[in-house]
Homo-oligomer: A and B are copies of this chain.
Amino acid sequence: MEMSELYSHLGDDLGYVEQRLQERLHSPDRRLEGAATHLLTAGGKRLRPVFVLLAGQFGDYDRGRLGDVAVALELIHMATLVHDDVIDHADTRRGQPTVKAQFGNQMAMVAGDYIFAQALETLARLPDTRAHRILSRAIWRMVEGEIEQIRDLFRLDQTLLAYLRRIRRKTALLIEMSCTLGAMATGADTSVVRALRRYGYGTGMAFQVIDDILDFTATEERLGKPVGNDLRQGNLTAPVLFAMRDPSVRKKLEVCLGYGSETFNMDGAIELVRSGDGVAQAQRLATSYLIKARASLAPLADGMAKDALLSLADFVGQREY
């Protein structure tokens, strides 16, 4: 199944979310609106809204309430991207200049804060305070993940566990929240919420591992940013950490990354990871997360919604961009 089929399955509810997103970021200040909507118009998969809308099909489906959840979560995602690009000094994302590159660091910081504030206001409409508590806790864990990422830059001695913990916070948590809050917003049973939470966790972990693989294996055109960008920034991801389990590769990587010398050879480092076994091992890791994610759905009633979630897991596993 292609992602576009999933979108058509959701009918105009995704269009409704898109419209709500646009309305939310409207501002009388033109420059702010420009910076805030810059990322929105650059496209993106709207993955979090898709998860929310699908997770909302196991209770009492309510487009308005699910729209609030979807808009809030997509905005939180966007706000973190805008701030991340400042932190990572990133100039392109989704094939477009980043907010930071186009509007400067100052404006990117404020625009991120603004998008985040809009997310909060959308979220505050939800009558269930449990949702507020769950999400606010998730948000600070996400920020902690960001800090862990900065702390672990260029640290060759980090464990795979540190990486998993980081991507859990950086990516999986918000996808997990999309499934959890989508189900909760429609009053689904606790067992359904739990199943969807686990599904979201597994799919989210796999999504990030594959993102980290694509950073090495895709083309710049597909990625919308330079190949090997993570490694260039010092962010050591699954393919690198697996590749380094081979002592000879590790030694060569250390040289390329300037350990014990003054010179870097980033292209060499990227080529080492691309040509080694790390990518295949990372792919197996992603697959194992997806198997668990699919299995989590067992307690849910069969039907189109469950099929769509299974297809979405497949899509995450096979995506090439």
Which residues of A approach B to under 8 Å, CB–CB? 27, 29, 31-32, 83, 86-87, 105-107, 109-110, 113-114, 116-118, 120-121, 123-127, 129, 132-133, 135-137, 139-140, 142-144, 146-148, 150-151
Instruction: Kindly provide the distance from the CB of A98 to the nearest chain B CB, expressed in whole angstroms.
Output: 14
Q: Is the CB of B151 within 8 A of A29?
A: yes
Chain B residues with Cβ under 8 A from A116's Cβ?
Answer: 116
Q: Is the CB of A124 within 8 A of B148?
A: no
Q: Is the CB of B31 within 8 A of A151?
A: yes
Given contacts A118-B140, A136-B124, contact A146 B110 (CB under 8 A): yes
User: What DSSP secondary structure best describes chain A's contact surface?
Assistant: helix
Q: Is the CB of A120 within 8 A of B117?
A: no
Instruction: Kindly provide the distance from the CB of A180 to the nearest chain B CB, expressed in whole angstroms.
Output: 15
CA distance A120 to B139 in the complex (A): 9
Q: Is the CB of B83 within 8 A of A148?
A: no
Instruction: Kindly provide the distance from the CB of A143 to the nearest chain B CB, expressed in whole angstroms.
Output: 5
CA distance A113 to B117 in the complex (A): 12
Question: What are 8 A-B residue pairs whose CB atoms fall within 8 Å in the complex?
Answer: A27-B144, A29-B144, A32-B147, A86-B109, A105-B105, A117-B139, A124-B133, A132-B132
Chain B residues with Cβ under 8 A from A121's Cβ?
Answer: 133, 136-137, 139-140
Known pairs A110-B147, A120-B139, A124-B137; list 18 more (Cβ under 8 Å): A29-B147, A29-B151, A32-B144, A83-B113, A86-B106, A86-B109, A87-B106, A106-B150, A107-B150, A114-B143, A114-B144, A114-B147, A116-B116, A117-B143, A120-B120, A120-B136, A121-B137, A121-B139
CA distance A110 to B169 in the complex (A): 14
Partner of A125, one of B107, B117, B133: B133
Q: Is the CB of A148 within 8 A of B109?
A: no
Instruction: Kindly provide the distance from the CB of A134 to the nearest chain B CB, expressed in whole angstroms.
Output: 8
List the B residue with the shortest CB-CB distance to A113.
B143
Given contacts A124-B133, A144-B27, contact A150 B110 (CB under 8 A): yes
